[in-house]
Structure 1
Amino acid sequence: MKLLIVTQKLDKEDENLGFFHRWLEEFARHAARVTVIVSSLGTHSLPPGVSVHSLGKEKGSRKIRRLWRFWELFSYHYVRSDAVLFHMIPEFVVAASPFLLSLRRPAGLWYVHKSVTRLLKFAERVLDYIFTASNLSFRLPSKKVIYTGHGIDTEFFKPASSSPRPVTGLRLLTAGRISPVKDIETLIRACAFLKENWNREFTLSIVGGPLMARDASYSDSLKNLVEEKGLVNRVIFYGARPYTEIASVYRDHDLFVSMSTTGSIDKAVLEAMASGMTVVTANEAFRSLLPAKYFLEKRSPEFVAERIKAIAEEARPNLVLRELVVKNHSISRTVQEIIARLKNIP
């Protein structure tokens, strides 16, 4: 199979999109040739049989120039491919629609977000398949939706091979983009409650950084809250970390906490589970996926703190949670399902 893939960025070090480099490696195992068109190109080291073509955003190329470059690249490679997969960005589907409609090839979009835009509605009509992680990851009703799991690399994200180093305090972690939808302030307030009502030592690591201007303001407000609550020695902001380092971050902590309000399956939670961490989350998407004790029915700081206390002594690694990811969200399962579907037009 000769597969064409269109994505926004390829950079194995990127905090948010670094995982897709590993996806391309996996696609290369199942396709005779993989051709990738990217808006922006960074650090990469892909196997033979994978060719990458950039639209030049990393060099400052203007938007109109990138669009023209996209039409050149897509028109050339589309006719020489057996199928095409778009990753996350419906705008690419719109730009490619004249070619998709004039020459039929199996075509799909991977999309995991609760927003439903006009461009997404258009893309759904043009494409053969919509690939997504779960029923809450794609909110537009469609018979074209295929649930594939989230594509987690469970060999990269796995428990430490050696015995964990002895520690006296509980190491809490939350990771991912810092944004108001992550409700990190509730977690910080829960830490303030623990400080006053628990005699056990603990720390909270916040790993990730803001992307938008409003996110930067939110990050500043969180740091002010930490100072206000007297938690500067317990709550540490580590900023964004390269994707290649994040697996070791998970292994260095005990308990992952996610207060996200996105309503979609959070990839960071699954990565933490695959790494053998115990997790607690208030994200509604996990209500039916996790054993009840790991889901936070309430968002009050006191309730979060008490749940942390209740599961703090659980054995590590948590192999029960890891197995849920291996079974339902592994990268091999996701890629093989996508490949199988793209071999045929419905």
Structure 2
Amino acid sequence: MAIDGPLRLLLFNLVTDADHQVLGFTTNWINALAPHCAYIDVLTMQAGRLDVADNVRVFSVGREKGYSEPRRVLEFYRLLRRLLDERYYDACFAHMMPLFAVMGAPLLAPKHIPITTWYTHRQRSMTLRLATMVSHRVISAVPSSFPLKTDKLRALGHGIDAVLYAPPSQVHDQPPRVIQVARLTPIKNQDVLLRAAAPLDCEVVLVGDTAEGYSTDYREELKTLTRELGMADRVTFTGQQTPQQVRDWYQRSTVAVNLSPPGLFDKAALEAMACGLPTLVSNEAFASLTGPQHKLLHINAPDDVEGLREHLRTLLALTPLQRQQIGQHLRMGVVAEHSLEPLARKVISVLRTGEVASEGTSEVFSEMASK
């Protein structure tokens, strides 16, 4: 059923922290949805620095306080019952939180509050299957970024802050610098980049760190590999960075690399493209963005060391103007297909009607929200 007027939204979120290394962007997403809503109440697994709109409240189940899992379950139900007693909600949006969607469904269903679950990852689980069952709709960036087959899926694109992630005012060229932004984990293939770049005349910057609670063995293996390859003085491990620091690294770099496998439609690649960087990818889901530069910017597989090396050698041999022109084309595609404000309108449309509205309808919804 279509919903008239500004939405009254309940939002489940994994981490609500403007400074978080990986999930800091969710604050921007929440704030992009806020103008379309009368109010948003966020129930999050973990909270940090809050920087949300005035009509947004955030409630945490306490992982940042060290609460045990059983206590977090109790906190979830205590907070959810309290919110349902205090306010009426038109819809529930579970962002990368299939667990909360499943846990909350028994309380939301009797009140006829439909759940829409956002999920972009290749990992399948019973929890995700259950979340799909209890959700009215599931949404993802592209069809391949949701791992289950379902008629409920609507692909909306990603939500990149194209104001924050923008090209530098002056083209960077010295020294040649290759950047990869990702958690330090084998699935991101940082070791492949190091092996590919070893004989090339360039610096390598690995932006990111090991995820909280995970082993640091891979990070130490990477540092050992830089020494074995004789490139320790050319490789920078930045550790955890804020979104603004990540943007600054992009703007000081020459080429970006993203080696996420199929199924991981990595927003880091889109951020690099938004900054006007020629970006090498191994996932065919980016083909609509790379367009005429497909052969130049795609490698055959995320572990293709030789292929990556040849692509890097070609891009680094281009003139700054040639690379700038490639970057401009990539940025135009990201702004058109994956920028934040259009995504927010699409999400609101699905929450209202279950479908993605035409641009004209989206404008009507925006007018409703402003009244």
TM range (shorter): over 0.9
For residues 137 and 263 of structure 1, the distance between their equivalents in structure 2, rounded to whole angstroms, comes to 5
Which residue does the alignment assign to 2:233?
233
For residues 103 and 233 of structure 2, the distance between their equivalents in structure 1, rounded to whole angstroms, comes to 50
Distance 1:2 1:174, change over 3 A: same
1:174 and 2:180 correspond: yes
1:104-161 CA deviation, whole Å, 9 max, x = no partner? 123201100111211111111111110100011102111111111111111111112x
Distance 1:177 1:69, change over 3 A: same
1:63 and 2:66 correspond: no
What residue identity is the alignment partner of 2:175?
G
TM-score, normalized by length of structure 2?
Answer: 0.86
Q: How does 1:312-327 map to 2 (within 5 A)?
A: 312=316, 313=318, 314-316=322-324, 318-327=327-336
For residues 294 and 133 of structure 1, the distance between their equivalents in structure 2, rounded to whole angstroms, comes to 20
Tell me the secondary structure at the aligned position of residue 316 of structure 1: helix
Distance 1:83 1:100, change over 3 A: same
What residue identity is the alignment partner of 2:250?
Y
For residues 104 and 323 of structure 1, the distance between their equivalents in structure 2, rounded to whole angstroms, comes to 40
Tell me the secondary structure at the aligned position of residue 6 of structure 1: strand
From 40, 46, 52, the equivalent of 1:34 is 40
User: Contact (CA 8 Å) 1:6, 1:85: kept in 2 or not?
Assistant: yes
1:332 and 2:341 correspond: yes
User: Contact (CA 8 Å) 1:281, 1:295: kept in 2 or not?
Assistant: yes
Which residue does the alignment assign to 2:362?
none
Which residue does the alignment assign to 2:219?
219
1:305 and 2:318 correspond: no
Distance 1:288 1:159, change over 3 A: closer
Q: Is 121-130 or 75-84 further displaced after alignment?
A: 75-84
Distance 1:80 1:132, change over 3 A: same
What residue identity is the alignment partner of 1:49?
N
Higher-helix-fraction structure = 2
Unaligned runs of 5+ in 2: 1-6, 356-371
Distance apart, 1:214 and its partner CA: 6.0
What residue identity is the alignment partner of 2:90?
D
Which residue does the alignment assign to 2:152?
144
1:20 and 2:29 correspond: no
Which residue does the alignment assign to 2:256?
256
Unaligned runs of 5+ in 1: 195-200
Which residue does the alignment assign to 1:203?
203
For residues 288 and 51 of structure 2, the distance between their equivalents in structure 1, rounded to whole angstroms, comes to 38
Tell me the secondary structure at the aligned position of residue 233 of structure 1: helix
Q: Is 308-317 or 332-341 further displaced after alignment?
A: 308-317
User: Contact (CA 8 Å) 2:9, 2:92: kept in 1 or not?
Assistant: yes
Distance apart, 1:289 and its partner CA: 4.2
For residues 351 and 83 of structure 2, the distance between their equivalents in structure 1, rounded to whole angstroms, comes to 16
Distance apart, 1:315 and its partner CA: 2.9
Which residue does the alignment assign to 1:164?
171
Distance 1:74 1:190, change over 3 A: same
Runs of 4+ with >4 A deviation: 212-215
User: Contact (CA 8 Å) 2:146, 2:263: kept in 1 or not?
Assistant: no
For residues 72 and 130 of structure 1, the distance between their equivalents in structure 2, rounded to whole angstroms, comes to 26
User: Contact (CA 8 Å) 2:8, 2:89: kept in 1 or not?
Assistant: yes
What residue identity is the alignment partner of 1:309?
R
Which residue does the alignment assign to 1:106?
114
What residue identity is the alignment partner of 1:294?
L
For residues 179 and 345 of structure 1, the distance between their equivalents in structure 2, rounded to whole angstroms, comes to 36
Distance apart, 1:232 and its partner CA: 1.1
For residues 253 and 146 of structure 2, the distance between their equivalents in structure 1, rounded to whole angstroms, comes to 31
Tell me the secondary structure at the aligned position of residue 143 of structure 2: coil
Tell me the secondary structure at the aligned position of residue 33 of structure 1: strand
Tell me the secondary structure at the aligned position of residue 319 of structure 1: helix
From 74, 79, 87, the equivalent of 2:80 is 74
Which residue does the alignment assign to 2:368?
none
Distance apart, 1:340 and its partner CA: 1.0
Distance apart, 1:169 and its partner CA: 2.5
Which residue does the alignment assign to 1:198?
none
Q: Is 10-19 or 275-284 further displaced after alignment?
A: 275-284
What CA RMSD, in Å, does the superposition of the two structures yield over aligned residues? 1.8
Distance apart, 1:288 and its partner CA: 5.1
Distance apart, 1:215 and its partner CA: 4.8
Distance apart, 1:248 and its partner CA: 1.3
Matched pairs, number: 338
Q: Is 11-20 or 49-58 further displaced after alignment?
A: 49-58
User: Contact (CA 8 Å) 2:102, 2:130: kept in 1 or not?
Assistant: yes
Distance apart, 1:285 and its partner CA: 3.1
Distance apart, 1:193 and its partner CA: 3.0
Q: Is 140-149 or 336-345 further displaced after alignment?
A: 336-345
Which residue does the alignment assign to 1:132?
140
